[in-house]
Amino acid sequence: MPVSPPRPIKDIEAIRLALRSWPEVETYLQECKGIIIPLGSTEQHGPTGAIGTDVLTAEAVALEVGRRNGVLVTPAQPFGMAEHHLGFAGTMSLRPATLLAVMQDLVLSLARHGFERVFVINGHGGNISTTKAAFAQVHGTAASRGLQVTPNLRCRLSNWFMAGPVMRQARELYGDKEGHHATPSEIAVTLQVEPTLQSKQRPLPKPAAAGPIHGSEDFRRRHPDGRMGSHPSLAIPEHGALLLETAATALSEDLCNFLSEV
């Protein structure tokens, strides 16, 4: 049966799961069985980017998508698969098997209470394959536990930075200086949602070109300041506002289609 969202709301705090009581969640489930999980990573983003970039961006997009559609948003999962960034101070990584177990447990917890559509908004490329693997295991585990929602349980991974309109806008704004990691587009979103980060911005030398990654030591050798072909000094808060709007619009459409699937 399709799962319709309640309705758009003005107060973004109203869609934060962390601020709801359990009776309020039970009432919500009578109208909507969809929920959004922001998934990020705690890893280096070049010499000027915040280590929490992937968490900040995923949560910002998720909250706006949730607000527009009246869908609950869980607390952000701040740790992802960032093994290749461990050569840089401050990075905190989950091994692939750990992240797989975490994501599966989170989905199963929600499914136990009656959530049937779990929409993960992801901010880190290193999470993609592992999260999809977790989704592949969820149905078998849910069935073995006898969860009633198993026949209707669906999971979807939506990577905000890979949405077509977002990628096109990033190319329009930055061209080939967008690069592949510590990109000006993601840094711009962080400058918009966390103004204190603006003081960290400064001109940077030409980055190392993007290339293959063979572990954390090799990454640090090839990309000594953490960037991969990107010029994050081009980022400004106004760009972040545009990109956030574009991402929220694109992912809202994706969410609505997901909730209405049979």
User: Domain with 63 in it: what CATH number?
Assistant: 3.40.50.10310
Phi, psi of 110, rounded to the nearest 5 degrees? -65, -40
210 compared with 179, residue with greater pLDDT: 179
Per-residue pLDDT, averaged over 93-99, amounts to 98
Tens digits of per-residue pLDDT, 178-209? 999 999 999 999 999 999 999 999 999 999 88
Per-residue pLDDT, averaged over 200-220, amounts to 91
| pLDDT reading at 3 higher than 60 | no
**Number of domains present in the structure of the chain:** 1
| pLDDT reading at 4 higher than 90 | no
Binned at pLDDT 50, 70 and 90, residue 12 comes out as confident
225 occurs within a structural domain: no
Residue 213: what pLDDT? 87
Per-residue pLDDT, averaged over 137-163, amounts to 95
183 occurs within a structural domain: no
Residue 53: what pLDDT? 98
228 occurs within a structural domain: no
41 compared with 10, residue with greater pLDDT: 41
One-letter-per-residue 3-state SS of the chain: CCCCCCCCCCCHHHHEHHHCCHHHHHHHHHHCCEEEEEECCECCECCCECCCHHHHHHHHHHHHHHHHHCCEECCCECCECCHHHCCCCCCEECCHHHHHHHHHHHHHHHHHCCCCEEEEEECCHHHHHHHHHHHHHHHHHHHHCCCCCHHHCEEEEEEHHHCHHHHHHHHHHHHHHCCCECCHHHHHHHHHHCHHHHHHCCCCCCCCCCCCCCHHHHHHHHCCCCCECCCHHHCCHHHHHHHHHHHHHHHHHHHHHHHHCC
* Pairing label, strands 154-159, 117-122: parallel
Tens digits of per-residue pLDDT, 60-78? 999 999 999 999 999 999 9
Residues near 228 by Cβ (< 8 Å), separated by ≥ 6?
Answer: 179, 180, 181, 182, 207, 208, 209, 210, 211
Residue 237: what pLDDT? 97
- pTM for this entry: 0.94
217 occurs within a structural domain: no
Closest CA to 152 of 23, 38, 247, 262: 262
Residue 1: what pLDDT? 46
19 occurs within a structural domain: yes
| pLDDT reading at 215 higher than 60 | yes
| pLDDT reading at 171 higher than 80 | yes
- Residue entry with tokens 């929600």: 110
Tens digits of per-residue pLDDT, 19-41? 999 999 999 999 999 999 999 99
7 occurs within a structural domain: no
2 occurs within a structural domain: no
30 occurs within a structural domain: yes
Tens digits of per-residue pLDDT, 110-123? 999 999 999 999 99
| pLDDT reading at 107 higher than 80 | yes
Q: Give Cα separations from 131 to 5, 71, 188, 216 (angstroms).
A: 24, 21, 26, 21
Per-residue pLDDT, averaged over 125-152, amounts to 95
For 43, the domain range is: 12-175+244-260
